[in-house]
Structure 1
Amino acid sequence: MDSLIESFLEFKEVNAGRSVRTVQVYRLALNRLAVFMGDRGLLEASQDDLLAYTGPYLHKMGLAPGSRFTHIVAVKEFYKWAASTRKISTSPAASVPYPARGQSLQRVMTLKNAEKLLWAADFQTFEGVRDGAMLALLIGCGLRVTGLVDLNTSNIIEDELDGKVRLLLKVKEKGNKERKLSIPPEADLLLRMYMASEELKHIDRTLPDGDQVLFVTVRNRNVPAHDYHGEKRRFNRRSVLMMVKKHGENAGIPEDQLHPHALRHLFGTELAEEEVDILVRQRLMGHADPKSTAIYTSMAMRKLTRESDRGNPLTKMRTPVTDILKRLNKDG
C-alpha cells in the first residue's frame, strides 16, 4: 500500500507540479487513512468509510476544520487519480463534503512593529545580518516562508532598471509556480551585506548541482559535524518562525503578530493602501485567484480612514467638538 501512495504522490509532484509541502500534507493524510482502514487496503474503502474517516475519526484526533479540509482534499485527489488510472471504477470520495470553516481574521503586523522587528536583529553579528536580510525579504517582497527558505544563490539575479543595477528574485512557491520580483533597495543592500559577509564564505553550502543554499543555519544538533553541509545547512520553515518570534519578543511586539505570514499580509495591505492596480498586486503576491488579492483591499485601513474622514456626514456639519478638532489639527 505504501507503493500505491508513493505512486500517487510522485504523480502529483512530477506531473501535476504540486509543491513539496503539498506532497507532505497529502502523505500525512493518506498514511492516516491507511491506519484507519486497518487490514483493508485503501482501494477497498467505501464512501461510508471515507465519511467516517474525514468526520468523526479526524475530529477525535483533535484536527480543526481547516486541517480536516486539507485531508479531504488529499483523499479526493487520491481516489480521483485511482479512478483515472483504472485501479477502481469510480471514486468513493467524490461526494465527501468539506467541513464548514469560519473565515479567520488575517494577522497583519503594523508598519511600526515591522520596523521594530527589523531593528531587533544585531547587525554586528553574522546571524543578525542574515536575519535582517531574511526579514527584509519577507517584509519588502511579501514572500511565503517556503519561498524564502527554498532560495538558492541562483535565484538572485542582477538587472539594470531605470539606469540602476538592481537585484531581482526568482521565487517558486505554491504549485511550484515561478515569479520574478524586484527587491526593494533596502532589502537589496541587506542581502548584499549578507552575501558578502566573511563568515558565509567559509560555510560549505554547495548543492550537488553546483548551486548554493542562500540562507544557512550556523548550528544543528541533529546533524553530525561531518555531514553538516550543502542542503543540511538550509533554514527550514520552523526556524524562520522561531527567528521572528525571538526578535519580535525582544522588540515587545504583540504575540498575535509574531508570525512570518503577518509580514506577507503587511506587504499585501500596503500595496492596497497605495492603490496599486489589483492585477499588479496579484502578480506581486503570487495569487492564482484575484479574490485572494482583493481581501487586502478591505484591510487597507489608512485608505479607508482617509475616505471616511473625507466623506462622512459629521465632517459636513458643525458639532459640539468641531472647534476643538480644528485647534488640535492646527496644533498638530
Structure 2
Amino acid sequence: MSAENWTDDEAIEAWLTYMEAFRGRTARTIECYRAALVRLKEFMEGKPLVHAEPDELEVFCGLWLHKKGVIARSRKPYISAVKGFYAWLQGKEQGVKGNAAKELMHPITGHPLPRTISLANAERLMWAPDMNTFIGIRDAAILSLLIGCGLRVSGLTHLNESDLQTMELECTVRLTIRVTEKGERERIMPVPREAEALLRVYLGHEELASIDRSFKGKGGRTDKVLFVTTKSPTLPAHEFIGEKRRLSRKGVRDLIQRHGIKAGIPASELHPHAMRHLFGTELLEEDTSMLAIQELMGHADPKSTAIYAQLAMRKKMKTVDRAAPMSKMKTPVSELLKRLPN
C-alpha cells in the first residue's frame, strides 16, 4: 500500500520502525521523533501529513514552535524528525512524490559552553554521602564513576557486574569497565583507584549480597545489575528482583540533587553531565590529546570534544601569565603585582 493511503499514525509508526530497525536509532531518540511528529499532526489540524506543503512545514518548524515556547536550539530535533520523515516518504517503497521538507534549514544558534561542576564542589559532593550506610556507599561509588570516568548517566545505569573487568598493567591488576552508551557504542574505560576502591566496598556489602539482582543477559548468560534501587512503592517483594532492581536515570539525578543540596552546591552544577564536563575539562588541563579525550568520552564527533578547549581555562591562564607580552614587560603595576599573593 502506498504511503499516500496511510493514516498519519500508520506513516509515523512505519518510519519510526525503519529508523529503529535499519538506522539504529535508540529508544530515546525514537520517542523524541514520535513526539515531534505528534506536534506536527496537531499543527496540521487534520490535513494528512503526506500532503503537507513546504510552506506549512516552514511555519511549523519556525513560528508555530516559537509561539509554543520552543527556543531555537530546542527546535533542532523537531526539524531533524520532519526532514527525516519526509525524505523517507519520498523513497521508492513509500512512493510519495517530492520532499516537502527538503529546503528546511536548522536555526542558526551559538554554542553555549556546557555547565560544569567545579573541582572543589566535586570534592564536596564526594564527601556528602553517609559512608556508614549501604545507600551512602552506593551513592559514593556512583559519584566516583560519574566524576572519575566521565560517564553519561545512561551508560552508568546500564552497567552490569559483567561489565567490570580486570587487566594487568605493569605488574599491577587494574579495574576497567565496559560502557555502552549512545547508539549502543561500547568502549572500555580505565577506572581510577579511588573509584575502584569504592566499587569494591559496594560490591562486598552484606546488604547488596541479600538482594536478588540476577537476570538473563546477552546469550542467555546470567548477569547481575550493578547499581540497585532499594525500594519500590508498587512492586511486591517477590517481583522486586533482577532488572526491576536497576537504578534509573531519574534515581541517579535525584541522589546528585540530594547530596549536592546538602553540601551547599549551586543547583546549576548538580546534574550528571556537569561531572562529565569536569572530566573532559580536567583531561585537557593536563595536556591530554584531543584524540585521547574523544576516545575516553565516547564522542562520535570530534566537534563534541573540541568544546573542552574552551573550558580548559586554568591551562590558558598559566600560558598567558607565563608567555603573553604583558608578562615580559615592566608596567605601572608590575611592582604592585609582585606584592600580591599568588
Q: How many angstroms does 1:136 deviate by?
A: 0.8
1:268 aligns with 2:280: yes
Q: How many angstroms does 1:89 deviate by?
A: 2.6
1:312 aligns with 2:324: yes
1:163 aligns with 2:171: yes
Q: Which amino acid aligns with 1:139?
A: I
Q: How many angstroms does 1:222 deviate by?
A: 4.7
Q: 1:186 — aligned with what?
A: 194
Q: 1:84 — aligned with what?
A: 91
- Matches of 2:10 and 2:139 in 1, distance apart? 41
Q: How many angstroms does 1:272 deviate by?
A: 0.7
Q: 2:208 — aligned with what?
A: 200
Q: 2:154 — aligned with what?
A: 146
Q: 1:13 — aligned with what?
A: 20
Cα displacement string for residues 184-241 of structure 1 (whole angstroms, at most 9, x for unaligned residues): 1111111122122221222222234332222111123354545433322222222222
- Matches of 1:31 and 1:271 in 2, distance apart? 42
| Contact 1:108 1:266 (8 Å CA) reproduced | yes
Q: How many angstroms does 1:313 deviate by?
A: 3.2
- Mapping of 1:85-124 within 5 angstroms? 85-87=92-94, 88-124=96-132
- Mapping of 1:34-113 within 5 angstroms? 34-87=41-94, 88-113=96-121
- Matches of 1:226 and 1:59 in 2, distance apart? 49
- Matches of 1:197 and 1:327 in 2, distance apart? 54
Structural RMSD (CA): 2.1
Q: Find the residue that maps to 1:207 and give its secondary structure.
A: strand
Cα displacement string for residues 154-210 of structure 1 (whole angstroms, at most 9, x for unaligned residues): 222222222222221111222221111111111111112212222122222223433
Deviation larger for 17-26 or 179-188: 17-26
Return closer, same or farther for 1:312/1:244 CA change in 2, 3 Å cut-off. Answer: same
- Matches of 1:60 and 1:11 in 2, distance apart? 31
Deviation larger for 39-48 or 234-243: 39-48
Deviation larger for 311-320 or 75-84: 311-320
Q: 1:131 — aligned with what?
A: 139
Deviation larger for 82-91 or 185-194: 82-91
Q: Which amino acid aligns with 1:167?
A: L
Q: 2:258 — aligned with what?
A: 246
Q: How many angstroms does 1:252 deviate by?
A: 1.1
Q: How many angstroms does 1:113 deviate by?
A: 0.7
Q: Find the residue that maps to 2:173 and give its secondary structure.
A: strand
Q: Which amino acid aligns with 2:198?
A: L
Return closer, same or farther for 1:83/1:205 CA change in 2, 3 Å cut-off. Answer: farther
Q: How many angstroms does 1:34 deviate by?
A: 2.9
Task: Give the TM-score, by structure 1 length.
Answer: 0.91
Q: Which amino acid aligns with 1:274?
A: E
Q: Find the residue that maps to 2:213 and give its secondary structure.
A: coil
- Which consecutive unaligned segments of at least 5 residues does structure 1 have? none
Q: How many angstroms does 1:137 deviate by?
A: 0.8
- Matches of 1:19 and 1:86 in 2, distance apart? 23
Matched residues, number = 330
Q: 2:314 — aligned with what?
A: 302
Return closer, same or farther for 1:26/1:125 CA change in 2, 3 Å cut-off. Answer: same
Determine what percentage of the aligned residue pairs are the same residue. 49
Q: 1:326 — aligned with what?
A: 338
Q: Which amino acid aligns with 1:13?
A: E
Q: How many angstroms does 1:7 deviate by?
A: 3.0
Q: 1:31 — aligned with what?
A: 38
| Contact 1:168 1:180 (8 Å CA) reproduced | yes
- Matches of 2:92 and 2:140 in 1, distance apart? 49
Task: Give the TM-score, by structure 2 length.
Answer: 0.89
Deviation larger for 106-115 or 226-235: 226-235
- Matches of 1:214 and 1:9 in 2, distance apart? 31
Q: Find the residue that maps to 2:177 and give its secondary structure.
A: strand
| Contact 2:113 2:311 (8 Å CA) reproduced | no
Q: 1:228 — aligned with what?
A: 240
- Matches of 1:85 and 1:37 in 2, distance apart? 25
- Matches of 1:3 and 1:156 in 2, distance apart? 43
Q: Which amino acid aligns with 1:294?
A: A
Q: 2:3 — aligned with what?
A: none
Cα displacement string for residues 292-328 of structure 1 (whole angstroms, at most 9, x for unaligned residues): 2122122111111110110233332334544454355
- Of 290, 310, 313, which residue of structure 1 is paired with 2:302? 290
- Matches of 1:262 and 1:83 in 2, distance apart? 41
| Contact 1:171 1:179 (8 Å CA) reproduced | yes
